[in-house]
Each structure stands twice: as structure tokens, then as C-alpha cells.
Chain A
Amino acid sequence: MKKAIIYIGQWFSDWYFIFARELKHIFRDSGVLIIFFLACLAYPVLYGLIYSNGILENMPVAVVDNSGSSASRRFIRKLDATREIEISRTCRNMDEAEKLMQKREVHGIVMIPSDFGANLETGRQGTVSTYADMSSFIYYKNLTMGVNMVMLDEMDRSSGPIKYEDNIPYNRAFSYGVFFLSAILLIIIQQTMFFGISMMSGTMREENRSYAILPERLDGRGISRTVLGRGAAYWLLYVGIGVYVLSIAPKLIGMPQNCPFGDIFILLMFFVSACVVFSFTFSVFIRHRETVFVIFLLMSVVCLFLTGFSWPSGSFPKFWEAVSWIFPSTFAVRAFMNMNTAGAGLSMAEPQIAALTIQIIAYYILACLEVFIDNVRRTRRERGIPAVSIPPCPPCLPTGEKPR
């Protein structure tokens, strides 16, 4: 019994030592601080400003009205009245309109042929030709939606045998900001943490220290307190940062928030834990502190697409779907979107939370394994040289706490 208490006391004292040492290292490193604090504080707000509007209203469109009939004029008037389109130019011919599109003064052309009015009057179908600027999906979407809405409006829906009604409960306006911000906020958390941790372990490597230093007198044991001690330092920082990124920043930038803070906080705890062990696992590949950026920076863009915020996850090729399971962001972004924007409860995010839990366990085991391997290597290489000196712990520590 007494032995157990001593062990637990020793465990906590070692754990605390490693935890405090890691925090000290973090706050001494300005490069890491830039990534942790500047990036996490500034990016959400910056992205919020960029995507604050998120939709393109009244996109300039040129019209070529060869018909000049009352029907064509009505069609043009209705187009102009849509939220998507503004008829900014009236051109005499297609050449003129095409030139405007080349100069990017308009992003679409609507051409009404000369027989349009006559066709409608005699009860035949009239054709309207549209030319969309495909340099952005949004231009294409705006022109197609605007013209289709007017076309449907002209169909006199009231007399059809079947009526329909559409409901778009979340993100009614198709705002690009809502999709993008929900995904990028979690990517910011994951990637900054990964870069920061990799920079730290790269620095230690350069200085010929190890990220995997164990208390020397334990003789190769004590892996869990090293991993948990270092992990706790990042975990603590990031729960704070995460509350800002997922709860305060969205308020600042006016993102919809349809989920109680408590639920988001629980998701955040799972996500941050997964990110810590994920970053530990992959940071061993970093030998020099700066190389993490030159090699892995663009993984942020890849991670973003693997969340499925834009391209639907059901259409992922099998291989990339499997790759997406590596990253905590894949599951956390989906859970966050469903909860924060669609108002799904925490219980509905169960599959994603389960996936994050599996990642936490798997990456924790891998991280411990790496510490073990690194120590075996080190002791072989430099037998007899003490790795680090840890102050001995008094044998009787008054602590009744049990390890969690």
C-alpha cells in the first residue's frame, strides 16, 4: 500500500517536472510562440474578414437582346431583380459582350435570340443562351441559379400538377464563408500544433537532446509520464486557444453558432487530445526545426480537402478516403459542422467522437513506442552518459490522488 502511494507520488512529481520543463521550453521559443499564438489569434479573424460576406451578390452580367420584344425585356428585368445577377451592360452584339468578359467587367453573358418573342407569342419554346465565366465556381453558380430561377418563374408553377417547396435549413444563402470557416478553424488548431511540436522536437534534435528524455534513474521505464507530461503542456495551452478559435472567434466574425458551448467544448477536448498524440507521432520525422515547414506546410491544404468540406466525402477515391482517416481534422471538422451550423447535438456526433477516440489510443501507443525506441537507441549510443538529472523525490509525498 505504502509502496503504491510512493509510486504514485513519484509518478506525479516526474510528470509535473516534465510538464513544467516543456512549458518553459515553449515560452522561450519565439518561433513556436508565433505559430501558437499569432497564427491562432490572427488567422480566424483574418479569414473571418476575408469571408465575412461569403457570397457574391449582383454579379455583373452583360445582355445581348436581339429580340427586343416585351417578353425578352421582362426576362431581363426579372434577371436584374435576382440577388445573384445584375445586368450591368447592354451590348449590341456578342463580340462586344465577349470583350467585356475578357476584361473581367462582366462574368456572364445572356443572349436572347431574335426569334424569342415571336416563339413565345405563338406558343412555342423560346431559347435563351448563357455564357458563364468559369474562372470561379461561384460565377458559374450565380449565373446558372439566377437564370434558372427566372426560367422556372416563367413556367407558371401554379398550374402544374405537382408543386414543390424547398427548404434549405442551414446556410440558406450558400455562403462560401460558412463552409470554409467551419473547416479552416479546426485545421488551424491541428496544423499549428503539429508545426509547433515538430519545431520543438526538431530543436531538441539539433541541440542533441531528445524529445524522449526519461527520468534517468528509472532505467528505461516511465514512458507514460514523459508522453503525458509533455502532452499535458500542449493540451493545456490548446484547450485555451481552442476555446478562442471555436467559440470566441466565431462570435467576433459573426459565424452562425447553433450549438451550446458545453458540447463544442467536449468535442474540443477530444480533438485537442487527438492532435497532441498525432503531432507527437509524426514529429519524430523532423530532424531540423525549419524543415517541418518546407516539407509539411502544404499538407494543410491537403487536410482541408480531405475533410470533405468542398468535394463530397462520398466521392473520395478509396485510397484518399483511407488517407483521410490519419488526420484528426477529418472527423472533427465533420462533427463541428454538424453541431455548430446544423445544430446537431453531441450525441449525433458519436461516430466522429468514436473515431477520434480510436485515434487517441492508437497515436498514444505509437508515441510511447517512439519514446521507447529512441531511448533504447540513445542508451546504446551513449552508454553511461546521464540524459538529464531529475531532482530526487522525497520518499513520502502526501498525495492521495489516483492516476486518471
Chain B
Amino acid sequence: MNFLNNIKVVSLRELRLMRQRPVYLLASVGVMAFCMIFFLTFLKDGTPHDLPVGIVDMDNSSLSRNFIRQMEATKLMETTGFDSYTSAREALQTGEITSFCVIPENFYSDVLSYRQPVLTFYVNNLYFVGGALSYKELLTLANLSSGAVQREVLRAKGLDEETVMGLIQPIVIDAHNIGNPSGDYRVFLSSALIPGVLETIVILLTVYAIGSELKHGTSRHLLEKAGGSMTAAMIGKLLPYTVLFTLMGIICNFIMYGWMGFPMAGSVWNLCLGTFILVLASEAVAFFIIGTLPVLRLAISISALYSMLAFSLAGFSLPVESMSAWIQGLASAFPLRHYYLMYVSEAFYAGGFSGWYMQAVFMLLFLFLPPLVYKRLRKAYVNLNFPRK
């Protein structure tokens, strides 16, 4: 009973601290709100539009103009004319256009006389999504216009529509996207980035909260309040944050999967359970860092270096399989990696408990980290024997 009371006293003290120092709320709620607004409005179109594509039209015939009109008609591309290959190539090199297409001289007359003119594309692949999408679209357009000419010819020979299509394009692809039907780039990114943001906030703020007591030399006061129990002090201290972080995570989940309508095959509540476990695991990592290095200034630098890596190693941008074996192992040292796998299982396949329990277990394994450094941190709290400045 006394223990619970100690926890309560410490928690109340922590709440008072949070009220007095605006940095706590700014760094949690403020940063989260900013990141949510940024990622959800920055990518609000889901797929890019009006990608600048250059055209070098050496033919200037009705057919080439028709080809350009078709390009303009797509939502994805917007064309700019260039006089020569050189000027278009310069624009490509400076990233002004994502790709360009050269229509050769005598294009129209060559088509008419069946001399098979060649359209040439140049794609700048340095800008990831823009390059990939305009490449795909140009290929499709070239095939379509080639097919359109061919269709006229075959129709004139008196073949029926079905046979014509079978000759022009024997195989059609019927594509289904599991987990993100429209290929919305916002879903690709936000659903993994936002938990990453949460993980980062949790790690930084936990280190900051525990380390500040050391820095300001108030740790003895804290222990006194906790009746001399380090366990009560730590539980009481982290309790308000755990509640705050979990609430933030749950609100973000409901904004994304409820209000914004991100695809969710399973239950949002299962995902929220995952968010809670992610918060616990991240707090454990933070505890480990500050416990190993009980100097706030160093611990916070190390936490910053650690948490930035999580974004790369979670595997939602470049899949982890393409990395070397030891880096794949390293990726498991980040709670975000397990959360991401759990999210895929729940949101894509409605995997339920049987689908993701292993990931939950992996995240819970992080809770074994704090006991390793518990004694060391208590000593630091009692003796205040580490450099503060």
C-alpha cells in the first residue's frame, strides 16, 4: 500500500514538472502534432501529378502532336517543349524535368510507310517516385500509340475487335494491391513513419526526464518522495509519460485509420495494443541508454543517433532483405521493426493475435533491458557521482 502511495506521490510530482516546464508537452504533443500535419498534408494527393516531362519534337506532324496531347491528357504528366536534345538533356541533368522523349524526324511518314520509327526516352532516376512513375507512364503511352496505329491497320483488314486486341496485346495484367489498393504513397509512408516518430519521441523524452534529475541534482529529492524506493520512483516517474504517449499513439491511429480512411483489414484496437507495447519497449530502450550512461548530455546524443537509424532499419523504405546479414540482425534491435511487421499483419491481412504474437513478444523482450542497468542508475541517483556539466 505504501509502495502504491509512493508511486502516486512521484507521479504527481512529475505532473507538476510537466506543467512547469513547457518543453515536456512541446516535445511530445507539439512535435507529434507537427509531424502528423506535415506527413498527412505534404503527401495529401497520394500520387504525384503534373510531373514535368520534356518533349523534343523533330517531326512536328499531326501524329506527333497527337502523341503530345495524349501525354498532356494524363493526370501524371505535364509536357514542356524543347528545341534540341542538348537543351532537354541539360534540363534532365538539373532535375527540371523527370524525363524526356525524342520524336524523330519523319516520324509520321515512317509510320505510314511502315519503316518503324523509334521513339527515344530518357529518364532521370535520381528522384525516386517521380522517375519511377514517369518511366512507367511513358512505356505505357508508347505501347498504346503503337497499338492504336496497329489497330487501325488491322481493322482496315477487316478483323474483329477481339482478334485485333489479341494480336496487339496478347497478355493483359489485372493488378491487385494488397493492403493499399490505390498505391497511395501517403499510406506507404505515414503508416510506418508516424509510429517511428512516436518511438523517437518516447526514447528522447524518457531519457530527458530521467536524466534531468541527474543534471539538476534533484534525484535525491525524487528518491525521498518515493520513500527511498528506486522502483517506486521509476514507475511513478514513467507512468504519466506512458499514459501520455499511449494516448497520443491511439489518437494518431484513429486519425489515420478512422478519419483519413487508411486501409485497415483488421481491428484498430489490436493496432493500439501494438502501439502500447511499442511505447513500453521504447521506454525500456531509453532506460537502458540513460542507465548505461548516466550523463544527460551524452545519453541524449546517443539516443538521437540511435533513434534516427530506426527509420532506415524498420524496412518500410528499402526492405531489410536487401541488406547484408548482420544489418538484418541489427534491425531487430529496434522496436519499430517489430511494430512495422505487426502493423502489416494486422492492417493488411487481419492477422489477429495468431498473426502477430511473435512480434509482440519480441517487443516485450526489450523490457529485460532496464533490469540490467537498474543498479547502476540507482547508484547514480543516490551518489550523483557522474559529471553533470
Contacts and interface: CB of A to CB of B under 8 A. Distances in A.
Interface of A: 30-31, 34-35, 38-39, 42-43, 46-47, 49-57, 59, 75, 98, 101-102, 104, 107, 119-120, 122-141, 144-145, 147-148, 150-152, 154-155, 160-172, 174, 176-180, 182, 195, 199, 288-291, 293-295, 297-298, 300-302, 305, 308-317, 319-320, 334, 337-338, 341-344, 348-349, 351
A47 B300 CA distance: 21
Contacts of B311: 301
B156 interface: no
B328 to A, nearest CB: 10
B123 A168 contact: yes
6 contacts: A30-B297, A52-B323, A131-B178, A166-B121, A290-B296, A320-B38
A132 B50 contact: no
Contact of B208 (A31, A46, A140, A294): A294
B51 A320 contact: no
B316 A136 contact: yes
B195 interface: no
Interface string B301-334: 1111101110111011111011110010000000
A124 B163 contact: yes
A151 B171 contact: yes
B318 A155 contact: no
A348 B135 contact: no
Given A46-B309, A312-B129, A337-B126, A294 B23 contact: yes
A43 B308 CA distance: 10
For the complex of A and B, the 5 pairs showing the least CB-CB separation, nearest first, are: A312-B130, A134-B180, A31-B297, A294-B27, A171-B125
B173 A317 contact: no
Contacts of B187: 134
Contacts of A59: 321
A125 B172 contact: yes
A168 B138 CA distance: 13
Contacts of B135: 166, 168
B259 interface: no
Contacts of B98: 312
A310 B129 contact: yes
Interface string B212-239: 1001000000000000000000000000
Interface residues of B, number: 121
Given A55-B322, A161-B116, A155 B143 contact: yes
A312 B48 contact: yes
A288 B98 CA distance: 44
Contacts of A351: 94
Interface in B251-290: none
Given A120-B171, A140-B177, 16 more contacts: A51-B312, A123-B163, A130-B173, A134-B177, A138-B322, A161-B153, A290-B212, A293-B208, A293-B304, A295-B27, A297-B308, A312-B130, A315-B49, A315-B50, A317-B42, A344-B93
B349 interface: yes
A43 B301 CA distance: 13
Given A34-B298, A132-B175, A161-B111, A167 B123 contact: yes
Contacts of A129: 173-176
A317 B321 CA distance: 34
B22 to A, nearest CB: 10
Contact of A154 (B147, B150, B171): B171
A102 B125 contact: no
A57 to B, nearest CB: 8
A152 B131 CA distance: 20
Contact of B165 (A125, A136, A160, A337): A125
A332 to B, nearest CB: 13
A147 to B, nearest CB: 6
B41 interface: yes
B150 A165 contact: no
Nearest to A144: B175
B162 interface: yes
